[in-house]
């Protein structure tokens, strides 16, 4: 196919603009070229990339398909279309794109790597591993190594996973995703020294889904120096459960002589006012005031040798606790679903309250729904009537219970922090690093947390729960 000289220059101009981070302008330039040569596959491909980077996925797909209509053997357009479709959860269509691209260009490592990522997400681990290793044999580097490591860790092949992460870091010691993935593996194996250091990679702005925020203050970040007589701002981060778990370190700072201000998310401020050792609680985004230094809450373990195990370190409001007073022989709360936006929600949350229904006919137990925002009803489970407005309310409810049965949610952390007995239900696939491996207890919540790990389906775990509950009654 002959290409007009000015069309070739237009393509080069569009590529230059994309390299400069100006996708909207690149889209205009490629579009202008397509007016002169509407079937040009290269311009359609460039327009598709520009549209995708401009947040216009439908337009991007149209241009990718136009490029492929003109040149069905354009493996680059097939791969990029596959990425676009995968991002839109159109997994089967994406897989077809990658497989077709591999038939055309089996020597390109990135195609093997993309197909491997997709197959791993579908838990087709054996075929995914084959494509990861093909990618590596063809020259694929740190990204394939890190992603292979994640998949191996998900299968319990932890030594192989660690080797992959370390090989990725030998290629690029500053590859933050590999550092973070290795930190999760090490922390789950109680190798805290190196694990906490590597966990600092979570702050890197280039990480996908980075939810770390920094306080607007000119004060320096605390580096572990003497804090006696100083004011320090502790910045809560990530999810509600993370905050509840790591705010315990405030008491350690206070015992070292610091005056601690804790910055938290809306909904937690009432609860955090009960935090042991805290001087002041503010909501993130409000005026910080003067402080000598600051630190992220999840960075505090770097400076303390052992996990603080003084339980409880949060408390319920006595007035609210009285208002939520519950009667009954054995009072058991139920939380069956967590944050639907969590990457592993489909595994760690129960499909429905009905999964737990075999428990509800045990005589002598009153079951209560402790599920914020959920109104799923089932015979044998009582609604508390009044809406749960914040975590201070939840704490007061938990303080009235004899036991909480919960999936991996903030409620489980809150029960642990209050010293309320909690039976934690963990999925077989990708349990969170903080619950360690093959343990039925938690060093974070000693004496009150008992872990029930899924081995088959949820049904077999519920049978174990029923047997244990009957013993309590």
Same domain, 292 and 349: no
pLDDT, position 234: 98
pLDDT digits (tens, 9 = 90+) for 88-101: 999 999 999 999 99
Mean pLDDT of the region 411-419: 98
pLDDT, position 212: 61
Asked if residues 315 and 274 have their Cβ atoms less than 8 Å apart, the reply is yes
pLDDT digits (tens, 9 = 90+) for 9-66: 888 999 999 999 999 999 999 999 999 899 999 999 999 999 999 999 999 999 999 9
Phi, then psi, of 85 in degrees rounded to 5: -70, -40
Q: For residue 457, what is the domain's CATH number? A: 3.40.50.2000
pLDDT digits (tens, 9 = 90+) for 206-227: 787 665 688 999 999 999 999 9
Whether 209 is in a domain gets the answer no
Which of 189-198, 361-370, 409-418 has the lowest average pLDDT?
361-370
Asked if residues 332 and 469 have their Cβ atoms less than 8 Å apart, the reply is yes
pLDDT, position 429: 92
pLDDT, position 376: 67
Rounded Cα gap, residues 442 and 431, in angstroms: 13
pLDDT digits (tens, 9 = 90+) for 131-172: 999 999 999 999 999 999 999 999 999 999 999 999 999 999
pLDDT, position 2: 46
Same domain, 65 and 145: yes
Rounded Cα gap, residues 66 and 192, in angstroms: 52
Same domain, 358 and 434: yes
Rounded Cα gap, residues 367 and 333, in angstroms: 6
Strand ranges, E, within 94-193: none
Q: State which residues form the domain around 250.
A: 231-303
Q: For residue 265, what is the domain's CATH number? A: 3.40.50
Whether 448 is in a domain gets the answer yes
pLDDT digits (tens, 9 = 90+) for 230-255: 999 999 999 999 999 999 999 999 99
Same domain, 361 and 284: no
Same domain, 424 and 346: yes
Whether 309 is in a domain gets the answer no
pLDDT, position 1: 44
pLDDT at 383 over 70: yes
Rounded Cα gap, residues 228 and 222, in angstroms: 13
Q: Cβ–Cβ contacts within 10 Å for residue 453, how many?
A: 17
Same domain, 410 and 261: no
Q: What percent of the chain has pLDDT over 70?
A: 96
Domain boundary among 280, 303, 326: 303
Task: Using the CB atoms, write b or e for 144-169: b if 16+ within 10 Å.
Answer: bbbbbbbbbbeeebbeebbebbebbb
Its pTM stands at 0.91
pLDDT, position 327: 73
Whether 239 is in a domain gets the answer yes
In terms of C-beta distances under 8 Å and separation of at least 24 residues, what long-range contacts does 279-283 make, across chains too? Answer: 279/231, 279/254
Strands 422-426 and 330-335: unpaired
Mean pLDDT of the region 345-354: 91
Whether 394 is in a domain gets the answer yes
Give the chain's domain count.
3
Asked if residues 21 and 45 have their Cβ atoms less than 8 Å apart, the reply is no
Same domain, 27 and 138: yes
pLDDT digits (tens, 9 = 90+) for 389-412: 899 999 999 999 999 999 999 999
Rounded Cα gap, residues 461 and 465, in angstroms: 6
pLDDT, position 324: 67
- Within 8 A by CB and 6+ apart from 371, the residues are 334, 335, 336, 337
Whether 93 is in a domain gets the answer yes
pLDDT at 268 over 80: yes
């Amino acid at each position: 196919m002959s290409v007009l000289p000015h069309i070739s220059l237009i393509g080069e101009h569009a590529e230059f603009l994309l390299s400069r981070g100006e996708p909207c302008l690149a889209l205009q330039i490629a579009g202008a070229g397509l007016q002169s040569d509407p079937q040009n596959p290269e311009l359609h491909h460039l327009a598709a990339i520009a549209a995708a980077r401009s947040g216009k996925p439908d337009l991007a797909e149209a241009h990718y398909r136009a490029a492929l209509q003109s040149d069905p053997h354009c493996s680059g357009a097939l791969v990029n279309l596959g990425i676009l479709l995968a991002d839109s959860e159109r997994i089967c269509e994406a897989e077809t794109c990658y497989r077709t691209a591999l038939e055309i260009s089996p020597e390109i490592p990135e195609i093997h790597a993309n197909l491997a990522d997709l197959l791993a997400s579908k838990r087709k681990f054996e075929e995914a591993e084959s494509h990861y290793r093909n990618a590596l044999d063809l020259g694929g580097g740190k990204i394939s190594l890190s992603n292979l490591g994640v998949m191996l860790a998900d299968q319990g092949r932890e030594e192989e996973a660690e080797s992959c992460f370390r090989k990725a870091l030998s290629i690029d010691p500053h590859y933050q995703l590999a550092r973070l993935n290795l930190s999760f593996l090490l922390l789950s194996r109680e190798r805290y020294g190196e694990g906490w250091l590597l966990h600092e990679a979570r702050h890197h702005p280039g990480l996908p889904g980075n939810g770390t925020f920094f306080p607007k203050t000119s004060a320096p970040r605390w580096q572990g120096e003497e804090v006696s007589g100083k004011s320090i701002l502790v910045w809560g981060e990530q999810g509600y459960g993370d905050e509840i778990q790591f705010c315990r370190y405030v008491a350690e700072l206070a015992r070292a002589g610091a005056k601690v201000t804790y910055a938290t998310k809306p909904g937690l401020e009432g609860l955090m006012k009960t935090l042991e050792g805290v001087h002041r609680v503010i909501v993130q985004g409000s005026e910080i005031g003067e402080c000598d230094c600051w630190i992220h809450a999840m960075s505090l373990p770097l400076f303390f040798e052992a996990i603080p195990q003084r339980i409880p370190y949060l408390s319920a409001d006595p007035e609210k606790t009285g208002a939520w007073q519950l009667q009954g022989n054995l009072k058991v709360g139920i939380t069956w679903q967590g944050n639907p936006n969590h990457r592993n929600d489909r595994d760690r949350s129960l499909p429905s309250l009905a999964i737990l229904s075999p428990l509800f006919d045990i005589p002598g137990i009153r079951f209560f729904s402790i599920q914020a925002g959920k109104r799923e009803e089932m015979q044998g489970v009582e609604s508390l009537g009044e809406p749960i407005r914040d975590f201070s309310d939840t704490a007061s409810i938990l303080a009235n219970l004899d036991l909480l049965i919960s999936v991996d949610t903030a409620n489980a952390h809150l029960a642990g922090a209050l010293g309320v007995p909690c039976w934690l239900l963990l999925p077989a696939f990708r349990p969170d690093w903080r619950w360690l491996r093959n343990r039925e207890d938690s060093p974070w919540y000693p004496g009150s947390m008992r872990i029930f790990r899924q081995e088959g389906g949820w049904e077999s775990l519920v049978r174990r729960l029923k047997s244990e509950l009957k013993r309590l009654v």
